[in-house]
Structure 1
Amino acid sequence: MRALVTGGAGYIGSHTIKELLQAGYKVTVLDNLSRGHRAGGKRFLLHKSSDK
Structure 2
Amino acid sequence: MFLSTDDFARDHAAFLAKGVRFVREPATHDYGTVAVFADLYGNLWDLIEFAR
Q: TM-score, normalised by structure 1?
A: 0.34
Q: Using CA pairs under 8 Å that are at least 6 residues apart, name the structure with larger relative contact order, 1 or 2.
A: 2
Q: TM-score, normalised by structure 2?
A: 0.34
Question: As a proportion of its length, which structure holds more strand?
Answer: 2
